[in-house]
């Protein structure tokens, strides 16, 4: 069961959930391609390719752990985010306390559909979360939920 589902309050339901984008695996993939090129060229480069393959594996494992332990969600009452396995960074802000959700996307992020979100809560807290898949959709769903909570008051 996910972090978000385990931490639901009574009467709360998940409206939208997001994960990290596959781009977190970009560097391990690049290292793997470099290692394969080095192996295919033979000689001293093939020996160095062994070191590069180890780098690819280690960065791949780190990326997989980061990908599988990161969750972002909007519930009927809160915005939640959790990143990390051993060192955990989590955010839980009531929808009534969210002042804004900023989306930052570079050129590659716009093309591939990922970006960073910064949730601004009352009291000046600003928590950035990077490489989220479909950040504009996340913001739109949050704004819709915030509006529905405000309309119900």
Contact 24, 63 (CB under 8 A): yes
- Mean pLDDT throughout 85-112? 92
8-state DSSP, 20: B
For residues 10 and 83, membership in a common domain is answered with: yes
Contact 39, 46 (CB under 8 A): yes
Q: For 20-47, what is each residue's pLDDT tens digit?
A: 999 999 999 999 999 988 888 877 777 7
Q: Tell me the pTM.
A: 0.86
Sheet holding 14-18, edge to edge: 14-18, 71-75, 78-83, 89-94
Q: For 50-67, what is each residue's pLDDT tens digit?
A: 889 999 999 999 999 999
Q: How far is CA 65 from CA 34, 40, 60, 84, 110, in A?
A: 23, 30, 9, 8, 25
For residues 131 and 146, membership in a common domain is answered with: yes
For residues 39 and 52, membership in a common domain is answered with: yes
For residues 16 and 30, membership in a common domain is answered with: no
Overall number of domains in the chain: 2
> For residue 19, how many other CB atoms are within 10 A of its CB?
16
Domain that holds residue 59: 24-65
């Amino acid at each position: 069961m996910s972090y978000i589902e385990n931490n639901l309050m009574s009467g709360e339901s998940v409206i939208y959930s997001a994960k990290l984008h596959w781009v977190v695996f970009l560097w391990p993939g690049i290292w793997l391609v470099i290692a394969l090129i080095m192996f295919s060229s033979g000689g001293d480069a093939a020996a160095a390719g062994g070191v590069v393959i180890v780098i690819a594996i280690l960065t791949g494992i780190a990326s997989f752990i980061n990908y599988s332990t990161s969750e972002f969600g909007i519930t009927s009452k809160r915005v939640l985010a959790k990143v990390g396995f051993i060192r955990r960074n989590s955010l839980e802000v009531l929808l009534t306390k969210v002042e804004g959700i900023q989306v930052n996307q570079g050129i590659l992020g716009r093309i591939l559909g990922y970006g960073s979100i910064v949730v601004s809560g009352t009291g000046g807290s600003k928590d950035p979360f990077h490489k989220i898949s479909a950040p504009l959709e996340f913001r739109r769903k949050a704004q819709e939920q915030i509006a529905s909570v405000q309309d119900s008051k």
